[in-house]
Amino acid sequence: MSFCKSLLILGTVTVLGCGHLPPSATTVIEPSRPVPSKAAFSEQVLYPLAKQTAHEIIEHKKATYRLDEMRNPDDQAILGAIGGAVPMLGVLFGATDEHDRATLERNLAWLDSRRLPLKKELIGLWESRIESTGTGYAVCVDGKKRVYQNSKNHWVRLDDLPHDCPRVEFQSLKADAPKD
């Protein structure tokens, strides 16, 4: 075997000055690196993703609570007219509005208190679903199997696999939920 072919097989240097090899053989072949640990993957990918996802879930639920508490403007006009005609009903509706506002504020505060437990639940769930791909890891997130590969100490998200993952109801959003 010639010296140039031996260097090519090792894949550690660029082959120069070997005119008898095809042009494609002069490419440097990067030696494969070991895949970082699952703990490193979790710390660098899953922890920030869990923080972002928990924030998005909480903000979506808060917006839903606010939307549910809004009344149709036509209903408010009708209630105002009734309250103006019958003073006692106006006092009753005003008390109901204050109760509704207090309930909404209590629910929003409770949701804010669930950020950290939700983040921890997401990390636990995702860490239990990590699968090695040989060059990185795959994990089920938001119903899709995401694939990540480490390239030069940076995790790159590749195309999702066509595998649907089961959706989960988060226990941290059920425990100690406020009552009306």
Tens digit of each residue's pLDDT (9 = 90 or more) over 49-74: 999 999 999 999 999 988 887 754 45
pLDDT of residue 136: 94
43 and 16 in a common domain: no
Domains: count for the chain: 2
* Domain contains 178: no
Query: Could you identify the residue written with the tokens 């095809």?
Result: 22
26 and 57 in a common domain: no
This prediction has a pTM of 0.66
pLDDT of residue 75: 53
Range picked from 15-19, 22-26, 123-127, 158-162 for highest mean pLDDT = 123-127
Q: Which residue range(s) make up the domain with 1?
A: 1-31
Provide Rg for the chain, Cα atoms: 29
43 and 19 in a common domain: no
- Region 121-144: mean pLDDT is 94
User: Measured between alpha carbons, how far is residue 83 from residues 100, 106, 133, 179 in Å?
Assistant: 17, 27, 66, 28
- Region 85-99: mean pLDDT is 56
- Region 95-123: mean pLDDT is 88
